[in-house]
Amino acid sequence: MTSLVSLPAVERLPYDIARIRRDFPILKREFDSGARLVYLDNAATSQRPVQVLAELTRFYRDHNANIHRGVHTLSVEATDLYEKARAKVARFIGAADPREIVFTRNTTESINLVAHGWARKFLKPGDEVVISEIEHHSNIVPWQMLRDERGITLKYIPMLPDGTLDMEAALTTITERTRLVAVTAMSNALGTIVPLDLIVARAKAVGAFVLVDGAQSVPHLPVDVQALGIDFLAFSGHKMLAPFGIGVLWGRLPVLESMDPFLGGGDMILTVSMARSTWAEVPAKFEAGTPNVGDAVALGAAVDYLSALGMDAVREHEREITDYALRRLADVPGVSIFGVPDADQRGGVISFDLEGVHPHDIGQVLDTKGVAIRTGHHCAQPVMLALNVPATARASFYIYNTTDEVDALASGLEEVGRFFGRK
């Protein structure tokens, strides 16, 4: 693997929303109706700036080759770019060593890697895994499968009516038999910011490992894995300005070294004979086959972009937009907002309904106005069951959204109400 040098700090830029929006050509798109795109589905996926698109094109135009295999110039260049992207990601989340960064396809694969490579190796019947009621399906289904296969006990921290976790229940749910706590840092359905410090403290008090689903937090909040004191962090590139198909699992190096491989094949081996095989060192042990080199390089460019803005500035911008949206939507007749009313306790995600109108109808009418939101259960059906609703409409914000776009959402909802007969 190519040796890495330390990378210089990225110069922070002033948060200029007009300049930022110029970096996203898709935001200028106009539809046949004459409406201009108002993109409020960022919890599903973000848009990509020209800097990331250019880096992706540059890789395939100038450096395209397979990595870790060749001694020719293109292979060496591609390997260097891939490993520099790994180092950028490590620095972005405060990892102690770039080797702690494993490239995957997405958050889902990262969590499954932990379930297969760590949990299947170390957990036995009766051991407890604790999740929460506000998890994305990606952090529920793998543990249910493990429960059914291995006989572990799966428990969950319940959600309170305001969308926060019942932290008193958490203290009794996490017990001396708990081996792993797997919890989101931010709910994708409600935007709830989870008090990880309290959960981690309780987990460590009983000797449990902690996996954090950072799909919604890493793109939006400052993250330092060493300060958090966790063992695993999973997140996706496509929610933080990078292309689809590239994700990250961070794990503490000794933990990763103790795990079994997830997939077998090329590049994850040290030796192969017809009798047996031995494994490469971390992280290669978990990156079988030809990896997604171009998209990893583009993820590095996305990290550069966010680092230049500063994640504190990103969080503050989204907090201001969310606070404005909470107040603005509360004035729309018939709208009910789910979750905590305080923007300090939630990320840039607002789930809501409009009395008498199905969320899918809300989404379709808003689309005629150019306003893109998400409707459905958001891969969080337990949240919908707890709220006693089949689905919600969800608006989610990112670095390029403005209060004018929130106004467009509110005006669109007023029109939805009139269309369906609300006065």
Residues designated catalytic: 379
Torsion sign, CA atoms 341, 46, 381, 113: negative
Sheet hosting strand 232-236, strand order edge to edge: 101-104, 247-251, 232-236, 209-213, 178-184, 128-132, 153-157
Task: Tally Cβ neighbours within 10 Å of residue 388.
Answer: 6
Pairing between strand 178-184 and 128-132? parallel
Answer left, alpha or beta for residue 65, where phi above 0 means left and psi between -120 and 50 means alpha.
beta
C-alpha to C-alpha distance for 228 and 255, rounded to whole angstroms: 16
* Cβ partners under 8 Å of residue 312, min gap 6: 222
